[in-house]
Amino acid sequence: MATDIQVKYKFEARDWQKKCLNSLKRFTVLAVHRRAGKTTISINVLILTAIKHPDRLYAYIAPELKQAKLIAWKALKDACQQFQNVQQGKKTVNLCEFRESELTIRFWNSSEIRLFGADNPDSLRGSKLAGAVVDEVAQMPKELWQEIVYPALMDSKGFALFIGTPKGINLFSELFDKGQDPVFKDSWVSLKFTCYETDALDPEDIELYKKSVPDEVFKREMLCDFSASGANQLISLFDAQQATKRDLDPTYVSRMPLIMGVDVARFGDDSSTIMFRQGLICYEPITCKGLDLVLLSEVILRHVAERQPRAIFIDGTGVGGGLVDILNNKIHFVSSRCLIFDINFGRKSAFAQYNNMRTQMWDTMKKWLQQGGAIPNDDELVSDLAMPTYDVNDKGQMILESKKQIRDRLGRSPDKGDALALTFAEEIDQTDYIDDPIKMAFRERQNSIAQYANNANPFDRFERERSNSWSHTW
C-alpha cells in the first residue's frame, strides 16, 4: 500500500478521555472504573499512533489471548471500518487489512496492531514494539513487563499504556505508585478516574450498585481504591496501612512474651528476615542478605542475648532446617529459657479450616491486625502483608497463595510478612519456661545435645576457652 495517503481519523472522546489523551507520557498507568471506556481509549491510542508512523508494530496485550480477542478485536475492527472503502481520487480502496488468523490489523503505511496474550509470552519475545497497551495489568506477572515487553520497547523508545481496575497489591498497584513518584515524573504518569468523574454510568445505577455490593467492592471497582481488598485478598492494604498508624505504649505489653520469627532466604534475591513481636506490638524488621547459615545464626544469637525472647519460630523448610540445628547447639550460651521451634509451612494445621500451617499463621496474623496490632511504618512490610491471596479447596479449607506463586506473580517473596506470621505459629503463655517442668525438660534435652556436640570437638572447646564468651565475636 502507498504510504503518502492523508486521512482524517474520527474519534469522539469523552471529557475524561480527552484529559487522559492530553496527559499521556511515555509510560502511562490508567486506573478507571468498570464500563468507563478504557478499552476504547486504549485502542484509539494505538490506531492514532499507528497511522502516523509507518513500518512499526504495536501490541494490545491481555492476560490471555482469547481474552484479548473477546475484549479488543471487534472494537479494533469497528474503529478501523472508516479506513474501508475510502475514496482516493477515482478509486475506492481499503486502507487497512484485517488478518483474522493472526489477530492483526495492517495499515496502508505498513504499520500493524497485533493482539497478544500474556499466557503465551514467547509470542512476544524478540519483537520490536513501537508501543503497547497492557490491559488488566493486575492479572499479569511482573516478568512479562520487566523481561519481555519493556525490552521490546527499548530500541524504538516505544510507549506503554497500562489500563485496569485495582485488585490489591500486584504489578498494577506497583506501576501506579511508580507513576506518582516524582523521581520518574519525566517519563511516567498515573491517572485515576472514578465513576463520579467519567459520566459513563447513570447516577441511579451507581447508587443501586453501591447498595448492592460490599463497601470494599464498590471502593475497588468504582472508586479505583488500591487500598480496598480484592475478592480473595487475605489482608487488605487498608488494614496493613492502618496498623502503621497505631502508637501503642510498650509498657502495655511489657509482661507479655517476646517472640522472634525468622524467615530464611531460599533464593538469590531474597533476604533472611527477623521479626520481633510482643503482644500487639511488632518491632522493626531485621533483614540479612547474603549470609550463610552460620553467619545468620550469629546474628540471631546476638539479638537473643540482647533481647531475651521466650521463643524463636523458624521456617525450617529447606535450608531453614540447618539453621534450626545450628541454633539448638548454641542457644544455651546466650539464653537459658528460649525455646526454638522448627515450623514447616506446608505441615498440616491442627485446625480443620486451614489447609496448612502457613495459612493458619497468616489468618491468625490477619485477626491480630484487625484487633489492634501495630506494625512499624515499613513500606515493604505493608506491601508484604497485602500481597497474598487465598482460595478454598475441595474440603472447604482455606489455602494461602504459596511463596512461589507470589514470587512468580510479583517478582519477590513476602519475606517480612512471613517472618511476622511465624510469630503466630503457636501461642506462647506469659509464664517463664523455667517454672514449667515439661518445657524445662525440653530445654535440658536441648542443652545436653548441645553440650555433647560441643565437647565432642576439641577445637570448639579450645575456641570457647580462648574467647571465654560468645559476645566477643559480635
Average pLDDT by stretches of 10, the chain with 474 residues: 67 93 96 93 96 96 94 95 86 92 96 94 90 92 90 95 89 92 95 95 95 90 85 88 93 92 78 95 94 93 96 89 92 91 93 96 97 95 92 94 85 92 88 48 50 47 42 32
pLDDT of residue 355: 95
pLDDT of residue 381: 95
pLDDT of residue 338: 93
The residue type at 334: V
Identify the bridge partners of residue 58 per DSSP, sorted by sequence position: 113, 131
Cα–Cα distance, 86 to 105 (Å, whole number): 16
pLDDT of residue 216: 86
End-to-end CA distance of the chain: 75
Cα–Cα distance, 82 to 455 (Å, whole number): 88
DSSP secondary structure letter of residue 228: S
From residue 367, how far is each of 28, 235, 280, 412 by CA, in Å?
A: 37, 9, 11, 25
* Domains within the chain, CATH numbers bracketed: 15-221 (3.40.50.300), 238-473 (3.30.420.240)
pLDDT of residue 221: 92
**129: Cβ–Cβ under 8 A, 6 or more apart, which residues?**
57, 58, 59, 149, 152, 153, 156, 158
pLDDT of residue 428: 86
Cα–Cα distance, 254 to 410 (Å, whole number): 37
Reading the block at residue 441, the C-alpha cell is 525438660
> What's the angle, vertex CA 50, arms to CA 95 and CA 192, rounded to 5?
130
pLDDT of residue 10: 87
**18: Cβ–Cβ under 8 A, 6 or more apart, which residues?**
none
Rg (CA), the chain: 28
Task: Give the helix, strand, coil percentages of the chain, each rounded to 5.
Answer: 45, 20, 35
